[in-house]
Amino acid sequence: MENFTSKLNEMTLEEKIKIIHAAGLFCNGGVERLGIPALRMSDGPNGVRQEFENDKWIPTGLAGDSVSYLPGNTCLASTWNPELAYYFGQVLGNEARGRGKDIILAPGINIKRTPLCGRNFEYFSEDPVLTGRLAVSLIQGIQDNDVAACVKHFALNNQEFDRTTVEVEVEEKTLHELYLSAFYAALTEGRSLSIMGAYNRYDGSYCCESKKLLQDILREQWHYDGVVISDWGAVHDTEEAALHGIDLEMSVTPDFDNYKMADPLYEKVKNGEIPESVIDEKVSRILNLMEKIRIGNPGRNPGSFNTHSHHRILNRIAEEGIVLLKNEKQHLPLNPEIDSKTPKRILVVGDNATRTHANGGGSAEIKALYEISPLLGICMVTGGNTECQWMPGYYVDNEGDIKGENLAGTLEIRDKGKMDKKQWEEEILPKRKQYLEEVLEAVPDYDEVIFIGGLNHSLDVEGADRPDMKLPYGQDDVISALADATDRLTVVLINGSPVEMPWIDRVHSLIQTSYCGMNGGYALARVLFGEINPSGKLPETYPLRLEDTPTSVYHSYPGEMGKDGHRHVTYSEKLMVGYRYYTSKEVPVLFPFGYGLSYTTFSCSNYHVVVRNMGHIGEFQLTLSCEIQNTGKYDGRETLQLYVGILEEGQPKMALKTFEKVSLSTTEKKEVALILTQKDFAVYSTEKKCFIAKSGTYMLYLGTSANDILYRTSIDLLQDYVLS
């Protein structure tokens, strides 16, 4: 076993400084003299990114760096399955190790505060419990492969618009209850060995220089002893970053010695402005991480990538991450053949049927070994007795329509983009019209029409938010026209964030998927044709209109420019984010949080609540149990969700506390037990700086979504309990 930590005493100041800043775009400096290798890092959430030149953002062009393309975190979150999150982490960690990496810059766990955030596709949910539970398992999966996870972005990086300068103003209670709690779980239960600071500002400082976030909360309140890495280029001031908690500075330019925590920090330590002990702490945390991931140990997991077992796991995640939102008249699953003598004719319409998504989105991009598009998946599943045709249906013009790659963040990114109105009307509109006419003419010749649209990584992208919640490229018109033209229409949307669906009442079959990874198209086809019974549930609310979302109602996005030159965004909706808001204010939504249908049906009965005291005063275990039965024709899975309502001013009507996904074959019946403890009733006390479960009455809601409540009851806590 290499003992790196003991080498600290032998290191010169120059050598220590090398360890705590980048010597390449994805590595720090090692100390060869002492046998300390550089740490090798890679993005990110969707798999291990391709190799770049050490000092340029230019891919090396290696043939050996194609990898498994994992489903996005939104897809994973839609599975509501912590076991799959662990396997997801296993694949990611194993591939990272296989590619020779030490730290994988994942998972991204920021709360989806507004549906417009360009990076939502990389994040899990609008809810911290769902996010935290899955992130914990995922991190454990990564780190079981001798690779460090790096949970990101700490904290409050909930919009891409002006992300590098925006100052977030949020009350402390909301900060802890909503925005920090998944991070807390990731570090304490998940034991993530590293964490990445965010670009944005909070409480008057950049997050990577924030005494409050990095010292007071992370180190002192949470006792975190892992490595804090800056986001790339998020450090602005040597002293603030060094003294307030960054251990390793990373950035995007090749002048590594000029980084704030390179030569400038060396000078400050040399002339006594910053004590060397501050540097020692950082170095020893990094050396400690190196020991934990067993660098230099001959028994270290060698990892592997692109294996069959990885692909099998990714298949399962994609299958369970697909959400059936509407299935009136039981139109789905589709039957691939009428009879083998008459080939069935299927018309597949839409750009997302043929588009692959791996190579987009920003730092989450992947050089995928392969990616099965939905059209290919459909052809693979239906086979030779079916005729499958594809037509675009709508015209995608990324030059004119979308300018999502503008990393400075702009709201002017869609539709007219850089093209002026006249040019747009002359060039784009006629093409849209033509594509629509062509498809409508073809529809009567087909037995089934499957529309596959949604967003793509021009809009679900790092560095820019969406300007609105609408489907781009005139898709609304195409879907409406198809719905008028045939009642054999199935709509599939692929997107990392909610979209408005003005045509919803006219469409009877609707499937929603996020980016589902390399086998996503195949998984989708298996769901469409009934080889897989869908069991995904939305990890975020689909509002009816952007105007209904809390950030619109409270005018709390994207903030305003302040006199100090920073954009300021005040989270004035406080805890009222996502379903917390819609359920509290009884705002109708398109599809609620936690919603998703199955090809089978379930019934629940025999609800019981049992409370057991656990020895110490105020400690208890509450078990809510019920019987659930599969009452339909297919084997399937249902997810029971337990919400708690804290009857206190400012608290939302309900907040998710635990959930359980249950597998049931046809007619099978199972007893399910959902367990809560005192911590699930606690709120943050700003005064005492800790969580307290206060005595009083609480509501319990058991449901299959935030709006589909099967059983409700109340419980009384008799004394206060202060969580340590």
What whole-number distance in Å separates Cα of residue 17 and Cα of residue 286? 12
Pairing status of strand 636-646 against strand 589-591? unpaired
When asked if residue 326 is in the footprint of ligand BGC (CB under 6 A), the reply is no
Contact (CB, 8 A) for 303 and 97: yes
- Closest distance of CB 41 from ligand BGC, Å: 8
| Residue of 43, 127, 231, 476 with catalytic role | 231
- Closest distance of CB 150 from ligand BGC, Å: 8
Instruction: Select the residue interacting with ligand BGC from 44, 377, 592, 645 (CB under 6 A).
Output: 44
What whole-number distance in Å separates Cα of residue 86 and Cα of residue 80? 12
- Which CB atom, from 44 or from 132, has the smaller least distance to ligand BGC? 44
- Closest distance of CB 108 from ligand BGC, Å: 6
When asked if residue 638 is in the footprint of ligand BGC (CB under 6 A), the reply is no
- Closest distance of CB 205 from ligand BGC, Å: 18
- Which CB atom, from 232 or from 698, has the smaller least distance to ligand BGC? 232
- Closest distance of CB 517 from ligand BGC, Å: 19
- Which CB atom, from 198 or from 323, has the smaller least distance to ligand BGC? 198
- Which CB atom, from 123 or from 529, has the smaller least distance to ligand BGC? 123
What whole-number distance in Å separates Cα of residue 496 and Cα of residue 539? 11
Can 216 be counted among the known catalytic residues? no
When asked if residue 105 is in the footprint of ligand BGC (CB under 6 A), the reply is yes
- Closest distance of CB 283 from ligand BGC, Å: 22
When asked if residue 533 is in the footprint of ligand BGC (CB under 6 A), the reply is no
- Which CB atom, from 460 or from 638, has the smaller least distance to ligand BGC? 460
Q: What number of other Cβ atoms are within 10 A of residue 295's Cβ?
A: 18
What whole-number distance in Å separates Cα of residue 332 and Cα of residue 510? 9
Element (H, E) at 696: strand 696-703
DSSP per residue, 655-678: EEEEEEEEEE-TT-EEEEEEEEEG
Tokens of 538: 């939305």
**Using N-to-C axis directions, what is the helix angle for 181-188 and 128-143, rounded to 10°?**
30
- Which CB atom, from 16 or from 21, has the smaller least distance to ligand BGC? 21
When asked if residue 232 is in the footprint of ligand BGC (CB under 6 A), the reply is yes
Q: What number of other Cβ atoms are within 10 A of residue 710's Cβ?
A: 17
Backbone angles phi, psi at 704, to 5 degrees: -105, 0
User: By rule CB under 6 A, what string of x and - marks binding of each residue 124-163 to ligand BGC?
Assistant: ----------------------------x-----------
Residue 711 β-bridge partners: 702
Element (H, E) at 239: helix 238-244
When asked if residue 363 is in the footprint of ligand BGC (CB under 6 A), the reply is yes
Element (H, E) at 292: helix 276-292
3-class SS of residue 613: strand
- Closest distance of CB 112 from ligand BGC, Å: 16
- Closest distance of CB 405 from ligand BGC, Å: 13
Query: Count residues contacting ligand BGC (CB under 6 A)?
Result: 7
Tokens of 477: 């018109």
- Closest distance of CB 99 from ligand BGC, Å: 15
- Closest distance of CB 37 from ligand BGC, Å: 20
- Which CB atom, from 232 or from 473, has the smaller least distance to ligand BGC? 232
Backbone angles phi, psi at 102, to 5 degrees: -110, -35
- Closest distance of CB 252 from ligand BGC, Å: 7
Contact (CB, 8 A) for 591 and 542: yes
- Which CB atom, from 46 or from 284, has the smaller least distance to ligand BGC? 46
When asked if residue 43 is in the footprint of ligand BGC (CB under 6 A), the reply is yes
When asked if residue 231 is in the footprint of ligand BGC (CB under 6 A), the reply is yes
- Which CB atom, from 224 or from 232, has the smaller least distance to ligand BGC? 232
Sequence-distant (≥ 6) Cβ neighbours of residue 272 within 8 angstroms: none
- Which CB atom, from 213 or from 376, has the smaller least distance to ligand BGC? 213
Backbone angles phi, psi at 670, to 5 degrees: -140, 155
The widest CA-to-CA distance across the chain, in whole angstroms, is 87
* Positive/negative CA dihedral, 175, 181, 187, 192: negative
Please give, one letter per residue, the 3-state secondary structure of 101-164: CCEECCCECCCCCCCCCCCHHHCCCCCHHHHHHHHHHHHHHHHCCCCEEEEEEECCCCCCCCCC
CA distances from 660 to 698, 702, 713 (A): 21, 11, 19
Q: In this structure, what DSSP letter does residue 178 have? A: I
Contact (CB, 8 A) for 194 and 150: yes
Alpha helices in 321-450 (DSSP H): 374-382, 421-442
- Closest distance of CB 163 from ligand BGC, Å: 8
Q: For 292, left (φ over 0), alpha (ψ -120 to 50), or beta?
A: alpha
Q: In this structure, what DSSP letter does residue 52 have? A: B
Q: In this structure, what DSSP letter does residue 624 have? A: E
Query: Of 182, 102, 104, 186, which is closest to residue 137 (Cα–Cα)?
Result: 186
Query: Of 133, 156, 286, 158, which is closest to residue 213 (Cα–Cα)?
Result: 156
3-class SS of residue 284: helix
Pairing status of strand 602-613 against strand 620-630? antiparallel
- Positions that interact with ligand BGC (CB under 6 A): 43-44, 105, 152, 231-232, 363
Catalytic sites, residue numbers: 231
